[in-house]
C-alpha cells in the first residue's frame, strides 16, 4: 500500500510530466501525437518513479517510448527544475507503455466479432506484467 508521501510525489510528477512530455513532442514536430501519463508509482524509498504512458496514435508508441527512455536524464532534469520547491530529491524515472486501453479495445472487438476469446482463449495475447 502506498504511503501519503508516495501518493503526493506521484501526483506532482504526473502533473508536471504531462506538460514536459507534451511540450517536447510539440517542439519535436510531432503534431497530432497525444502523450498522457496514465499512472505514476513511486517506490517506498522514493528513489524510483515508474511512469506509465498512453500514447495516441498507437503506431507511434514504440518509437516515442524509446526516445523518451533515451532522454530520461533530460526529462528528470526539467522535472527537477519545475518541482524544486516541492521535492528535495527527484526520483529516477522509468518509462513504460500503458497498453490497458488497447487491451480493453481488443477484448471488445473480439467479443463483438466472430473471434470470441471466451470460446477460443488463444485469440488474446498473453499480457506481460511489468
Average pLDDT, the chain: 84
Going by pLDDT thresholds of 50, 70 and 90, the confidence category of residue 114 is: low
Of 100 and 120, more confident: 100
Question: Per-residue pLDDT for 30 more than 90?
Answer: no
* Domain boundaries, given as residue ranges, for the chain: 4-98, 100-130
Q: Is the pLDDT of residue 81 over 70?
A: yes
CATH class held by domain 4-98: alpha beta
> For the purposes of burial, counting CB atoms within 10 Å of the CB of 86, is it exposed (0-12), middle (13-18) or buried (19 or more)?
exposed
pLDDT at 59 over 70: yes
How is residue 38 annotated by DSSP? E
65-74 confidence digits (pLDDT tens): 998 999 999 9
Amino acid at each position: 500500500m502506498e504511503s501519503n508521501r508516495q501518493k503526493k510525489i506521484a501526483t506532482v510528477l504526473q502533473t508536471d510530466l504531462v506538460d514536459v512530455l507534451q511540450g517536447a513532442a510539440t517542439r519535436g514536430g510531432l503534431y497530432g501525437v497525444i502523450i498522457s501519463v496514465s499512472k505514476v508509482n513511486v517506490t517506498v524509498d522514493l528513489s524510483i518513479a515508474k511512469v506509465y504512458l498512453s500514447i495516441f496514435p498507437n503506431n507511434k508508441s514504440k518509437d516515442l517510448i524509446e526516445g523518451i527512455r533515451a532522454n530520461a536524464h533530460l526529462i528528470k532534469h526539467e522535472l527537477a527544475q519545475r518541482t524544486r520547491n516541492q521535492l528535495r530529491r527527484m526520483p529516477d524515472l522509468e518509462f513504460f507503455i500503458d497498453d490497458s486501453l488497447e487491451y480493453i479495445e481488443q477484448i471488445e472487438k473480439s467479443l463483438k466479432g466472430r473471434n470470441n476469446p471466451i470460446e477460443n482463449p488463444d485469440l488474446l495475447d498473453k499480457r506481460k506484467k511489468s
